[in-house]
Structure 1
Amino acid sequence: MSLIPFTEKGLRKLHENLTCFGDKLHVDEVYAGFVAMLSNAKKSANLKPEVKTLLEELENVIEELRTKGCTEEELEKRAQEIIEQNIEERLKSCKTPIAARKG
């Protein structure tokens, strides 16, 4: 990612090929690489207005793709965490240990 030039042409190529790597944006390292690249591109002093607009579009699309990719995995992970928390809370609320109960 760091090899892509921050020129208008390089950013357009990146935008055109978002579908190729959009499903990988749920990986934190991949996402961080894109964020770093876009922030470095924004720091460039001689950006044309079209390039600034393209950068904003790229940011929005990358955020959208990341959210879309994370949705199912994150929901499953959060659901599992909630289930585990509920089990732990129920076990803590028991006054008599399960092993000591009769029946």
Structure 2
Amino acid sequence: MRHMDFFVNKMGWDREVIIRYPKLLAFSLEKRILPRCSVLQVLILKGLVKENCNMGSLIVRSEKHFLEKFVTKYENEVPQLLDLYKRNTNCLLVLGYGTDKVSGKNLM
């Protein structure tokens, strides 16, 4: 399954996260999961969000909540964050998904 491959092999998540949040498997990989993981990856790399934050719960939160807590909150520190979030198709490249290199593995 594509979702499990992404979460476990590309993002380095434990399977327990998916068991705890089974709704993760219902969301669109391209429209919801990849954009949010891209934003979170940037925030972690910049030291603005802790690496051990509860990633599963952040994916299942409402659009409004996610935008307020992770995009608009950090727009001064990372002005291009909203653009990154909106570019759904380019999120595949940001995370290395679909390429030989896994750039986001074990970051979250």
TM-score (norm 1): 0.25
Higher relative contact order (CA 8 A, sep 6+): 2
Name which one, 1 or 2, has greater alpha-carbon Rg: 1
Greater share of helix:
1
TM-score (norm 2): 0.24
